[in-house]
Structure 1
Amino acid sequence: MTIGIRTALAADRDALGALKLRSSLAWGDHVEELQALAEAREVPATQLPHVAVAEIAGKIVGFVTVLPADAATHAELEDLFVAPEAWRQGIGGMLLAEAERRARAFGARTLGVVAGERARSFYEASGFRFVKTVATDLAPAARLQKELP
């Protein structure tokens, strides 16, 4: 299985939004809230240049969005989603590595993310450290940060 990584195209936007919602709903948490939340099913067009897409045989199986933050030395991991049928195949780790690479290309020395309880251990296993608890539309979540080499 060969996984390709590329920058998202405008034509990918609907597929990315559908994957984001499907992945979010797969755990069965906050189903009604997610279905009612417009941002749970869309990737803003303005973010597309900052989105890396993972593909297998031309099919999108995941994506990550990393944005330069207000501080010149910080970047923010906005979204990281993998299609449920592709979970546990290393795609999330590949996308996270791509996010870190892109953040360093921005000149960032730190990468931040807000992670729900289910995702927190994934990020911590990758070197992110807990900063504080923050409120989100759905539930309290952890703000995590990683120092980039």
Structure 2
Amino acid sequence: MTVGIRTARAEDRETLGALKLRSSLAWGDHVEALQALPEASEVPAEHVPHVAVAEIAGKIVGFVTVLPGNSAAQAELEDLFVAPEAWRRGIGSLLLAEAERSAIALGARSLEVVAGERARPFYQASGFRFAGIVATLLAPAIRLRKDLP
């Protein structure tokens, strides 16, 4: 299995939105709310230049979005989704490493993410630390931060 990473293209938006929703629904949490929430199945056009896509044999199996943060020293990991059928194959870790490279390229010294409880162990195993609790449309979530080299 060779995973390729590339920059997203405008024509990927529909595929990325569908993957985002499918991945979110796979846990079985907040199903009705997610299905009713337009943001749960959309990748905004202005985010596309900041999206890295993971592909296997030309098929998109995951993506990550890194946006400039509130300060020049901080970047925000906006989305990281892997298709459920590709879970537990290291794709999330590859995308997270790409996110860190993207944040460093933006000049950031830290990368932050808002994550639910299910994603928290993944990020903490990659060096992210608790930075606070935030309200989201679905439930309270955790803000995590990782210092970058």
TM-score by length of 2: 0.99
Structure 1 residue 60: Cα displacement: 0.1
1:70 maps to 70
3-state SS, counterpart of residue 4 of structure 2 = strand
RMSD over aligned Cα atoms = 0.4
Equivalent positions of 1:35-46 (< 5 A) are 35-46=35-46
**Structure 2: how far apart are the matches of 1:57 and 1:13?**
19
**Structure 2: how far apart are the matches of 1:70 and 1:35?**
30
1:26 maps to 26
**Structure 2: how far apart are the matches of 1:138 and 1:117?**
12
Corresponding pairs, count: 149
Structure 1 residue 133: Cα displacement: 1.0
1:92 maps to 92
**Structure 2: how far apart are the matches of 1:12 and 1:107?**
27
1:118 maps to 118
Aligned residues: percent identity? 78
**Structure 1: how far apart are the matches of 2:5 and 2:50?**
13
**Structure 2: how far apart are the matches of 1:35 and 1:70?**
30
> Which residue identity does 1:129 align to in structure 2?
R
**Structure 1: how far apart are the matches of 2:87 and 2:71?**
33
Instruction: After superposition, give the CA deviation of every residue in 1:68-114 in whole Å (9 maximum; x if it has no partner).
Output: 11200100000000000000000000000000000000000000000
**Structure 1: how far apart are the matches of 2:2 and 2:131?**
35
